[in-house]
Amino acid sequence: MAGIIVGVISIPLGMAFAIASGVSPEYGLYATIIAGIIVSLLGGSTFQIAGPTGAFIPILLAIVLQYGYEQLLIAGFMAGVMMLLLGVCKLGNLITYIPRPVTIGFTAGIAVIIFTGQVSNFLGLNDVEKHESFLLNMKEIYLHLDTLNVYSVLIGLICLFTSLFAGKVVRKIPSILVGIVVSTLVAVFLFDDKVATVGTVYGTIPNGFPPLQLPDVSLSMLISLLGPALVIASLGSIESLLSCVVADGMTGERHDSNKELRAQGIANMVTPLFGGIPATGAIARTATNIKSGAVTKMSGMIHSVFVLLVLLLFAQYASLIPLASLAPVLMIVAWNMSERKEFAHVLKTTGSDSIVLLVTFLLTVFTDLTLAVSVGLLLAMLLFVKRVSQMLDVSKVLPDHGTLERKVKSDVVTKHHDCPQVSIFTIQGPLFFGSAQLFEKKIIPTLKMTPTILILRMGKVPLLDATGMNQIESIVSTFSKQGRLVLLTNVQAQPKDVLERSGLAQQIGESHFFLHTGDAITYALRHIQQQKCLGCKHFAFKECAQLSASQQTS
């Protein structure tokens, strides 16, 4: 029953997504059937339902407008190869590194494009030309408002309100199906030939399955489609794994992300060979599958078989569906996928996340998804680097003689209480390219005071990269030329590994690495110029009084 219920929902959605993508409705059904079976059979989630989704609409429409339907199939196949390789190389977890503001931004942008893209069908406008540009599409709608069809608006409203409220009356039948059936019946019996239908615009839907067809390809064509294929693969991977995460949260199971990507890749390699548009995991249909009582992968396969049977037996009736009936369905899909609550929540949080969200959203709507995601990721990375670099804290410290443990603290260092020969610094936070400038700014003034020995406390440095290592190497080199020493304490595993592989650890000397700061201080006091302690009033260390006294005795 779960498979049949999801199948009922998938039929109008598959057709609507295909039409919105600029191709004939049957190509959405082919994708629903093929991808649904393959992903359910081979995927990494028990409950995943695969097929065409709303997120693909702006991408696929842009490819169709720029390259054509045949090239769309080739791009879909290439995307399938990419997704398969991601799974084979076990890179499924990489998708989780995409920042949430970027995901919400492009999802909300896609929702706006889908919603506004259905306005012309909802209003029944004539001769509206589709463009890749959002602004040009809005201009087309404005220029053709005089062709508004009152009957289309009425059919659209009937479908919209029936879909919204049918669930409260008929709970076991999908509400969007009720909306489409009711509005179609009204159109057939009351407004015959007064509204555009699937049949009048796209012709009768074939009541059979297409034969296997291998497209003609060339190297230049593959190169030109590499960018679109990469976008399809990226978005398909993200959405399919997000769908798996939703399913895990609803059922308590754990999906295999790499297995899922391999299945999605195979599905998108096979689907174009039969004319189907690209497919991915469908979050809403997967959730419906679970709520309808699914317990095994059989429900996903039954869903595809059900769609196939409907295609074979009742395809001619689907041609009667008005385009104005499919428009509200996609508008509801767009509203549900808009993540409006998450959008508002992010805007109320940190300013940097809000900037990433808005930039990604606006670029998705007014340019294209490729540029939006690229800029969003780059901006998120730069802001992240800035935040992490600000986490670095470099402070000059000395032992606090007022406490029994004599722990080193920064607030005890004053103009009159600071050893002229031994400088101790506590470094806290990652020492990498983003924070290297701050590290240098803190350390350089002390180096100008020419201490004999520099102690770097690195117990709270979790990360050291090449830039950070270069800063330490510069200090070590300067001290070595002047016969001075650099001592390091409590160096963690990753920084120690970087120092060893670079050869800097050998240059510093193994005897100059210490586990505890106290041991480093003891070592340092043995190697200072003790004659300089004569008359010193700083008494930075407990040994200073004895050193001063021994110097006076001598």
Domains of the chain: 2-383 (no CATH), 393-553 (3.30.750.24)
User: Is residue 412 very low, low, confident or very high in pLDDT (cuts 50, 70, 90)?
Assistant: confident
Residue 389 tokens read as 């670099």
Q: Which residue has the higher pLDDT, 421 or 539?
A: 421
SS3 per residue for 275-299: CCCCCEECHHHHHHHHHCCCCCCHH
Is 514 in a helix, a strand, or coil? strand
- pLDDT surpassing 70 at residue 468: yes
- pLDDT surpassing 80 at residue 189: yes
Residues 6+ positions from 64 with CB-CB distance below 8 Å: 21, 22, 23, 72
CA separation for the pair 473, 495 (Å, rounded):
13
User: Is residue 553 very low, low, confident or very high in pLDDT (cuts 50, 70, 90)?
Assistant: very low
What is the b/e burial string over 104-128, where b = at least 16 CB atoms within 10 angstroms of the residue's CB?
A: bbbbbbbbbbbbbbbbbbbbbbeeb
User: Is residue 554 very low, low, confident or very high in pLDDT (cuts 50, 70, 90)?
Assistant: very low
- Bridge partners of 408, per DSSP, are 399
Q: Which residue has the tokens 């989630």?
A: 45
Q: Which residue has the higher pLDDT, 164 or 536?
A: 164
Give yes or no for a contact between 473 and 445, defined as CB atoms under 8 angstroms apart. Answer: no
pTM of structure: 0.82
CA separation for the pair 110, 105 (Å, rounded):
9
Q: What is the pLDDT of residues 16-57, one digit of tens each?
A: 999 999 999 999 999 999 999 999 999 999 999 999 999 899
Dihedral sign of CA atoms 90, 277, 253, 103 in order: positive
Give yes or no for a contact between 264 and 88, defined as CB atoms under 8 angstroms apart. Answer: no
**How far is CA 269 from each of CA 31, 36, 76, 177, 266, rounded to the nearest angstrom?**
11, 13, 7, 30, 5
- pLDDT surpassing 90 at residue 273: yes
Q: What is the pLDDT of residues 83-117, one digit of tens each?
A: 999 999 998 887 777 888 998 999 899 999 999 99
Q: What is the pLDDT of residues 294-334, one digit of tens each?
A: 999 999 999 999 999 999 999 889 899 999 999 999 999 99
Please report the pLDDT score of residue 496 as a whole number: 94
Give yes or no for a contact between 15 and 318, defined as CB atoms under 8 angstroms apart. Answer: yes
Pairing of strands 422-428, 453-460: parallel
**How far is CA 435 from each of CA 50, 363, 460, 472, rounded to the nearest angstrom?**
45, 30, 14, 13
